[in-house]
Amino acid sequence: MAYREKRKMVAMLLAGGQGSRLGVLTNKVAKPAVPFGGKYRIIDFPLSNCVNSGIDTIGVLTQYQPLELNAYIGSGQPWDLDRQNGGVFILPPYVKGKSGEWYKGTANAIYQNINFIDLYDPDYVLIISGDHIYKMNYQYMLNEHIKREADCTIAVLQVPWEEASRFGVMNVDHELRITEFEEKPENPRSNMASMGVYIFNWDKLKEYLVRDENDTESQNDFGKNLIPSMLLNGENMYAYEYKGYWKDVGTIESLWEANMDLLEHNAPIELDDPPWRIYSRSANMPPQYIGKDAILINASISDGCNINGTIENSILFPGVKVEAGASIKNSILFSGVVVKENAVVDHSILAEDAVVNFRACIGQTKRNEVNDGSPKITVVAQNTVIEAGAVVFAGESVEGNVSREVKA
Amino acid sequence: MNALGIIFSYSQRENLRELTKRRTLASLPVAGKYRVIDFPLSNFVNHGIYDVSVLARNNYHSLTDHLGAGKEWDLVRKRGGLRILTPFARHDTEKPGIYRGSIEALAYNMHSIRRSMSEYVVITGSSYLYDIDFTHLMQTHIENNSDVTTVYTRKKPVSGEIPQGAAVMDMDDTQRLLNIGLATEEDGAKNAAWAMDVFVIRKSLLESLVADAMSYGRFDFNEDIIKRLISNLCFRGYEYNGYLLEVNSVTGYMQTSMNLLDPGVRAKVFQNPVYTKNKDSVPTRYAEGCYVSNSIISDGCRIEGTVENSVLSRGVRIGKNAIVKNSVIMQNTEVMRDVVLDHVILDKDVIVREYRSLSGHATYPVIVEKGSIV
């Protein structure tokens, strides 16, 4: 049909993960919808990468708390994905005939959408996830994939050895052909970690998806089942080495660190990059206003903010209000946060619309506590109200109303 | 609402020096990230007028670029939506595209205006920023059985004077118009009502009045339609009391920019959403050693120096030790290190090189033309 032309490559973005390690930040939203970098959400990165790489047909697989994500993606217009042909499609699990079930694993999620992919009759399928911050041209990876006549190409990057056991790691020969693949091994024999970015020949992938589905022992996961099984059968599998900035933001600490990376003098990832813009759905707000009492030291501030306090090494999302005498340090304030007079916020993440009242203190280090060097990040959940004078200690995570007073 | 909105994107009486040399008044950057037209356009959309025509006359490249298809104002529609009426070449003149008055502009675009399915027409200019409750205006117009309702105000946007060339209205107790004429100095002192060039009229009446005036070679709406027919038709005034900021003179523009720094003024101006073109700029970065006070800053700026009492558009760069005071700086302009600016308007894409110093006055700011290198 005319509105479903053949595509060379279709992207499938796995966005169903809960991201439970992000704690209260994913109370109401799926991990890909978690805010990042002053005006973005994590999913803006893979989506913008796709669009900037010339991929215009993208299925977004959702499952956990999809409302926010659905509303955010909408017609796909902010990413130029409201197309006559292709565009972005939200793909939740659905009922088929008498059956119908949740996505059991990453491979099963794609399996359940074989019909969607077939609509576009692609030669290749790109599998990506909505969990990482990076800028990558998938077209280069596809070129390599085609050149090597591979069945599957996995994007890899070298990680520090001590972290390798958190990833799917692989051994490759001198031509980058994958010889071994282990998902989260206890004793990694390589530090080439999978970025969770795969390109498959669609025919081959389909064959393995069906086979994997019929295997009752399988956990239906790409890293645990499908890729090892392809390797076992001697398919042509190559690694594609990526050398740029890539950050998994699956934990509070890594989310905080990745945000702080943006504030560095020579930021390892530059977002002010017109040829490779990161697109996002923006709130319509007036420009920011910096008042007479504001002190700004290495800060990133967005539209709609009204700043009268001290902001140091911090990232403020749209519509944040900081009153005079308040001090924000090393923190990330999501949209609509209000920090009242003389409140103190340090090493914290304040989720949407949190209110920190007069003289409250967020992220205070306990007395007698020995600091081991790595800062503890305090998290305040969405819509939380911190009463005047209340204290939230470093490393805590709070929601609801907080009115604890600490005796001096 | 059952109305077609028409925005005149230019003004016969504007005095913006270099700022409108290459652009039409409606696409003048204002209030940081906005263009003048964002205000009337958002004003229409916020009051349910989704059928909008923008009348362009000359230098409208930046205007069409800014408006695009009208996506940001939610005006990409099958019923109504945004239309830009570019000038229509006339047969009888050597100067195509230059209308001899608002009547001629409307006449040459009547083929498009006629096609609208709306019963009424709301016409506005681009000289002032305001927020009129069009729903109430329309209701008043219909209830009073008026032929034309003209919006007037007694406010004085700049330095206690009625803007030059504005029409002063003389009305009876029922706000029925008795006389209309150019403002004199005495009118300013008398707190007179002056017309804001915003009015409502039934579309069919507009068509016949315009056709009639054209056939006699009359081109000025106030002079040739309102004044001539004042006793035959029912013209009424409608008082506007909200905020009013002038942008059609350099002094007015500068004062408007400075007024926007006042929280009270900003609260009124942004009470209803004002939409503008989305640029996907990054958030603004404030480097260590910067000092910013009482300023409006848009996204995508990078500030290393001092900025006080100023308005910055998107993507402006302020270098180390630079001092910018009481100034307006437009999109993507770069002020390099150790520059000193006071009462300056830097247009788009300007570069001010190291150690330069420019200083003007509130009533006569220095204006640096688009793309210049100082």
Residue A292 reports pLDDT greater than 90: yes
Instruction: Identify all chain A residues contacting B275, using CB atoms and an 8 Å cutoff.
Output: 284
Nearest to A290 among B274, B282, B292 (CB): B292
CA B86 to chain centre: 18
* CB within 8 Å of B357: residues ≥ 6 apart: B339, B340, B341
Contact of A347 with A329, CB cutoff 8 Å? yes
Question: What confidence tens digit (pLDDT) does each residue in B318-344 have?
Answer: 999 999 999 999 999 999 999 999 999
Q: Determine the residue type at B191.
A: N
Q: What is the pLDDT of residue A97?
A: 73
Residue count (chain B): 374
3-state DSSP helix/strand/coil % of chain A, to nearest 5: 25, 30, 45
* Mean pLDDT of all residues belonging to chain A: 92
Question: What confidence tens digit (pLDDT) does each residue in A47-75 have?
Answer: 999 999 999 999 999 988 888 999 999 99
**Averaged over A398-404, what is the pLDDT?**
85
Q: What is the pLDDT of residue B24?
A: 92
Q: What is the pLDDT of residue A408?
A: 45
Q: What is the pLDDT of residue A372?
A: 65
By the 10 Å C-beta count (0-12 exposed, 13-18 middle, 19+ buried), B105 is classed as buried
Instruction: Identify all chain B residues contacting A278, using CB atoms and an 8 Å cutoff.
Output: 280
A307: left (phi over 0), alpha (psi -120 to 50) or beta: beta
Q: What is the pLDDT of residue B190?
A: 79
**Averaged over A7-31, what is the pLDDT?**
90
Contact of B335 with B341, CB cutoff 8 Å? yes
Contact of B247 with B28, CB cutoff 8 Å? yes
Instruction: Identify all chain B residues contacting A272, using CB atoms and an 8 Å cutoff.
Output: 282, 300, 302
Among B40, B13, B209, B62, CA closest to B122: B40
Asked if B275 reaches chain A (Cβ–Cβ under 8 Å), the answer is yes
Asked if B274 reaches chain A (Cβ–Cβ under 8 Å), the answer is yes
Q: How far apart are CA A49 and CA A276, in angstroms?
A: 8
Question: What confidence tens digit (pLDDT) does each residue in B70-99 have?
Answer: 999 999 999 899 999 988 766 665 565 578
- Write out the two tokens for B222: 């106030």
Phi (first) and psi of residue A67, to 5 degrees: -55, -50
Instruction: Identify all chain B residues contacting A271, using CB atoms and an 8 Å cutoff.
Output: 282
Adjacency order of strands within the sheet including A321-322: A401-402, A385-386, A355-356, A338-339, A321-322, A306-307, A288-290, B295-297, B311-312, B328-329, B344-346, B366-368
- Reduced to 3 states (helix: H, G, I; strand: E, B; else coil), residue A47 is helix
How far B18 CA sits from the closest chain A CA (Å)? Answer: 25
Among A365, A353, A360, A297, CA closest to A330: A297
Judged by CB atoms closer than 8 Å, whether chains meet at B284 and A288 is answered as yes
Closest residue of chain B to A287, computed from CA coordinates:
B298
Q: Determine the residue type at A166.
A: R
